[in-house]
Amino acid sequence: MAFIKAISYYLPERVVTNEDLVREFPEWSVDKVAAKVGVSQRHVAGPDETAGDLAEKAARRLFEEYGIAPSEIDFVLLCTQSPDYFLPTTACVLQDRLGIPTSAGALDYDLGCSGCIYGLALAKGLIAGGIASNVLLLTAETYNKYIHPSDKGNRAIFGDGAAACLVSKDGFAEIGGFALGTDGSGAQDLIVKTGGARQPAASGHESVDEDGHVNREDFLYMNGGKIFNFTLDVVPALLESVLSRNDTAKDQVDYYIFHQANKFMLNTIRKVCAIQKEKFYLDLEQVGNTVSSTVLIGLKDCMDKGTITPGQRVLLAGFGVGLSWGATLLRF
């Protein structure tokens, strides 16, 4: 068995409010931004602040809050799509910066909105296989570095941040079975097209999609309509699958924490899946969509506020870039 033993997170100091955005885009109003995406402010990494920096601060906060010594860690998993370098892997750099023993394994994995769920699955597998006993799972993203300054839609949604989670042989939440999925045919619907080996040089190319949004190959592009439809297609089936794998009925789930994509999408998913409002986490207001960290941030906040208590079953789900999706059930 594998358990979550500790959770912390870190947000950059710089804050961009809706008022800040409206000064740049006067055709918007503060209320319009908040109503559309459910975000009032978002934290943005500084010019010299990387995902590795954010992950390090989240890990140090975890160690401090829970009295964990770096020497206890025997594997580091870092989920990021904005690594510090093409090589070496940022997890290896963090092993050294955090003072984790050189006997520990360390690797990055490139995944976004479902990254937390996949990380929990990998960590559980490492423990079940006897490969590790204390896995430090880190999620860190600086999407704002990929967003064009004039892309007001994505700038309103995304915030930067990092989360840290210790997965161990004991803890406060047992990690149950998983349902995972992938559909790479939708890769072009959420992408930064240039900068990698396929298209290494900036192209400066721009086009307009069917919804009238500008697709800039050198910056983050999201086809909002297709991503929205994708979630409506996969999430209901995902819930059925993960409940079945955990031999749990829907009415036995006490709380749901989904990837915090945006307010409209989450409200629609909740209604389609017939989930009671009081059982459903929705809180992007102060942090925005932090990609792979949203689920862990939500879980930590719910625990701190007493929304989640011992004896409860909590369903976690992530879905998005890849396209990919995943869910698991925690037993507190």
- How buried is 219 (Cβ within 10 angstroms: 0-12 exposed, 13-18 middle, 19+ buried)? buried
Q: Is 148 considered catalytic here?
A: no
180/2 Cα distance (integer angstroms): 18
Helical pair 30-37 and 263-272, crossing angle rounded to 10 deg:
30
236/258 Cα distance (integer angstroms): 12
CB neighbours (10 Å) of residue 104?
21
Q: Which of 79, 113, 273, 302 is catalytic?
A: 113
64/187 Cα distance (integer angstroms): 39
CA separation, residue 249 to residues 173, 243, 252, 327 (Å): 19, 6, 5, 15
Q: Which of 92, 154, 289, 302 is catalytic?
A: 289
Q: Which of 18, 134, 259, 273 is catalytic?
A: 259
Q: What is the 3-state secondary structure (H, E, C) of 279-291?
A: HECCCCCCCCECH
Distance between the two ends of the chain, CA-based, in angstroms?
13
Q: Is 289 considered catalytic here?
A: yes
Q: Is 146 helix (H, G, I), strand (E, B) or coil?
A: helix
Contact yes or no for 296/58 (Cβ under 8 A): no
Q: Is 113 considered catalytic here?
A: yes
CA separation, residue 184 to residues 114, 121, 139, 188, 300 (Å): 14, 20, 22, 9, 31
Tokens (6 digits) for 251:
């009415």
For the chain, the residue count is 332
DSSP string, 20-42: HHHHH-TTS-HHHHHHHHS-SEE
- How buried is 322 (Cβ within 10 angstroms: 0-12 exposed, 13-18 middle, 19+ buried)? buried
- Catalytic residue numbers, as ranges: 113, 259, 289
